[in-house]
């Protein structure tokens, strides 16, 4: 077994440090349930220290005064260092998060790509000139907020951290980022890459700790100016309550219960392959997972049979051995998923495959699960499972399919399977989702705006749109001396 570092410190004010009280958190490998490392456990006093460092850096104006193209060049350097460390990052992400080595490497390269993408946009964010006649000059400045407090979930910690840190740096904000306590290791590489690239001390601070003290104290801190939260609806609601007290602008990337609609003309094999990728990737621990499939009544049996063949063919085991279905993050998460499956069966849904923990392995594995006979009122059709669990619902006419797809509190993603462009557009236009995939779940990339409607949140990450959430417009109106357009010297 390849080794990783046994103890990981916080990165504050350009230095690697212990927590003030020296406390640590043990990090578990979800594939084996063994402790693999420890991290410094940050608490409110450590958060204070990080916010103070970030404030000092912002007040010093080093990032803000820098020519934006030079800020972009600094970000290209961060990307270069992340790429150079990609194999090391892949191992850390594989061991603390459960991904395959290829999945871990993909995290590293995607993180690097966020820094090149937003580094390239750093010098393209422009204000505008507003004509007010000869006596005035008026223009806008896209001004940074200041200290951006960022809280990240455990499923794709590095990519999610990279997307918000990159947007913040491109717009001259500074960052205090709270990594997820369950899988923080890969996020420390952003700090290492920033350090090696020469990012000013205090511009990027990365700490980890529990949500209830470390996370809560960061988002409630008196001296932050901006919040980026990616995580569950319940945590998002609690953060928003505290942000409301101080009127702190927030980006909320919350959960999902996304549905794909299969139309009668669809290529069924293509839809089945796409659905399997949509729900079984990273054991379904993906906010944009396709956790529901809505099929015509007449085609349900054929589609479910084909899905079941796919699900049974997946090998279950540790990511490091290259398995298809890797572990879920923790015992708690496995128990929660199993409980939801049990409740679904009791409510009348039928587990065609899976529905329980995988036996014979020490870690936290759930078998690939497909539920048929699911109805819209069931919890399994409405609530996020965050595991490899697909609910199949049936419809008899297209309007009913749309209404089923839109029938949850969430609105993160939706999908359409059809060969007909008119059908695709008709459905995409009616689906309440921030992102609609046609004939391929997860179609899109770093360049495409991503975020939720309804209770999946607001604000957008990814794409050029994301930058708008990291700046506030300042208008400058200048009365030109002497009126009449003024005269030089007079
Ligand atoms: P979570 O809400 O439990 O935790 C997310 C982060 O918030 C963690 O770092 C946690 O420590 C912290 N936290 C917990 N309580 C807090 C509090 N009171 N104040 C401040 N921080 C607190 O979510 P999770 O279980 O880590 O992640 C899974 C959820 O994230 C799912 O709902 C998933 O859909 C969502 N998610 C959304 C996106 C997106 O882009 N929309 C991406 C990934 C995950």
Reported as a single tens digit per residue, the pLDDT across 428-477 is: 999 999 999 999 999 999 999 999 999 999 999 999 999 999 999 999 99
Catalytic annotation present for 253: yes
- Long-range pairs of 358-362 with CB within 8 A, sequence gap ≥ 24: 358/316, 361/31, 361/316, 361/317, 361/318, 362/32, 362/33
- Render the burial of 175-203: b for 16+ CB within 10 Å, e for the rest: bbbbbbbbbbbbbbbbbbbbbebebbbbb
Distance 175 CA to ligand 1 centre (A): 18
Confidence band (pLDDT; 50, 70, 90) for 481? confident
Is residue 282 left, alpha or beta, with left meaning phi > 0 and alpha meaning psi from -120 to 50? left
Active-site option among 107, 192, 253, 384:
253
Q: What is the DSSP letter of 100?
A: -
Centre of ligand 1 from the C-alpha of residue 232, in Å: 4
What global pTM score does this model have?
Answer: 0.96
DSSP string, 128-164: -B----TTEEEEEEEEE-SEEEEE--SSSHHHHHHHH
Q: Write the residue with the smallest CA distance to atom 16 of ligand 1.
A: 211
Cα(110)–Cα(140) distance, rounded to whole angstroms? 33
Residue of 469, 472, 473, 474 lying closest to 164 (CA atoms): 469
Q: Ligand 1 centroid to 155 CA: how many Å?
A: 9
Interval between CA 48 and ligand 1 midpoint (Å): 21
Q: How far, in Å, from the CA of 425 to the mean position of ligand 1?
A: 33
What pLDDT, in 10s, does the model give residues 135-187? 999 999 999 999 999 999 999 999 999 999 999 999 999 999 999 999 999 99
With a cut of 60, say whether residue 485 has pLDDT above it: no
Alpha carbons 187 and 208: distance in angstroms, whole number: 9
Answer whether 472's CB lies under 8 Å from 126's CB: no
Give yes or no for residue 466 CB within 6 A of ligand 1.
no
**Best mutation site among 231, 244, 288, 290 for ligand 1, i.e. most ligand atoms within 8 A of its Cβ?**
231
Mutational test site, ligand 1, from 235, 289, 409, max ligand atoms within 8 Å of CB:
235
The residue extents of the domains of the chain are 7-254, 258-438
Residue with CA closest to ligand 1 atom 35: 231
How far is the CA of 426 from the CAs of 422, 423, 429, in angstroms?
Answer: 6, 5, 5
Q: Does domain 7-254 fall into CATH 3.20.10.10?
A: no
Q: Is the pLDDT of residue 484 over 80?
A: no
Section 403-421 average pLDDT:
98
Which of 287, 338, 341, 461 is catalytic? The answer is: 287
CB neighbour class for 240 (10 Å; exposed up to 12, middle 13-18, buried from 19) = middle
Tell me how far the alpha carbon of residue 400 lies from the centroid of ligand 1, in angstroms.
Answer: 32
Question: Shortest CA distance to 208 belongs to which of 38, 367, 450, 433?
Answer: 38
Identify the bridge partners of residue 227 per DSSP, sorted by sequence position. 149, 250
Atom of ligand 1 nearest to the CA of 178: 9
Contact 211, 43 (CB under 8 A): no
Active site residue 413: no
- pLDDT computed for residue 3 by the predictor: 84
Q: Whose CA is nearest to atom 9 of ligand 1?
A: 180
CATH of domain 258-438: 3.40.309.10
**Average pLDDT value for the chain:** 97
**Burial tier of 421 (Cβ tally within 10 Å: 0-12, 13-18, 19+):** exposed
Q: What confidence tier does 487 reach under pLDDT thresholds 50, 70, 90? A: low
Structure tokens at 183: 């899988």
Give the three-state DSSP class for 444: coil
Quick check: CB of 238 below 6 Å from ligand 1?
yes
């Amino acid at each position: 077994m390849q080794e990783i570092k046994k103890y990981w410190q916080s990165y504050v004010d350009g230095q690697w440090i212990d927590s003030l009280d020296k406390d640590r958190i043990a990090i578990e490998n979800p594939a084996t349930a063994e402790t693999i490392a420890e991290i410094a456990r940050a608490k409110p006093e450590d958060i204070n220290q990080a916010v103070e460092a970030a404030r000092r850096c912002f007040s010093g104006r080093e990032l803000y005064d820098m020519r934006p193209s030079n800020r972009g060049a600094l970000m290209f350097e961060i990307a270069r260092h992340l790429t150079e460390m990609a194999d090391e990052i892949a191992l850390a992400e594989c061991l603390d998060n459960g991904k395959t080595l290829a999945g871990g490497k993909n995290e590293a390269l995607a993180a690097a790509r966020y820094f090149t993408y937003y580094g390239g946009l750093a010098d393209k964010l422009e204000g505008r000139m507003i004509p007010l006649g000869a006596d005035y000059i008026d223009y806008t400045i896209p001004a940074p907020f200041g200290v951006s407090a960022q809280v990240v979930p455990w499923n794709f910690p590095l990519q999610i951290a990279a997307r918000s840190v990159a947007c913040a740096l491109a717009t001259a904000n500074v960052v205090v980022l709270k990594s997820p306590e369950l899988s923080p290791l890969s996020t420390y590489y952003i700090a290492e890459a920033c350090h090696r690239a020469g990012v000013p001390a205090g511009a990027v601070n990365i700490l980890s700790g529990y949500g209830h003290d470390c996370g809560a104290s960061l988002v409630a801190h008196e001296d932050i100016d901006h919040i980026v939260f990616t995580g569950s609806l319940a945590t998002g609601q609690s953060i928003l309550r505290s942000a409301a007290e101080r009127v702190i602008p927030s980006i909320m990337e919350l959960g999902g219960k996304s549905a794909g609609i299969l139309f009668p003309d669809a290529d069924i094999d293509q839809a089945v392959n796409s659905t399997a990728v949509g729900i079984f990737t990273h054991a379904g621990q993906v906010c944009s997972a396709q956790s529901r499939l809505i099929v015509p009544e007449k085609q349900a049996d054929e589609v479910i049979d084909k899905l079941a063949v796919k699900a049974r063919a997946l090998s279950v085991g540790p990511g490091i051995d290259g398995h298809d279905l890797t572990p879920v993050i923790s015992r708690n998460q496995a128990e929660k998923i199993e409980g939801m499956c049990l409740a679904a069966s009791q409510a009348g849904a039928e587990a065609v495959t899976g529905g329980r923990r995988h036996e014979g392995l020490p870690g936290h594995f759930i078998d690939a699960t497909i539920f048929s006979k699911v109805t819209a009122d069931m919890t399994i059709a409405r609530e996020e499972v965050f595991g490899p669990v697909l609910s199949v619902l049936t419809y008899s006419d297209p309007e009913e399919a749309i209404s089923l797809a839109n029938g949850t509190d969430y609105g993160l993603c939706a999908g359409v399977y059809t060969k007909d462009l008119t059908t695709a557009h008709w459905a995409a236009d009616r689906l309440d989702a921030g992102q609609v995939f046609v004939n391929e779940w997860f179609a899109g990339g770093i360049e495409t705006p991503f975020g939720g409607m309804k209770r999946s949140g607001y604000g957008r990450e990814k794409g050029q749109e994301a930058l708008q959430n990291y700046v506030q417009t300042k208008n400058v109106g200048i009365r030109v001396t002497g009126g009449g357009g003024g005269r030089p010297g007079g």
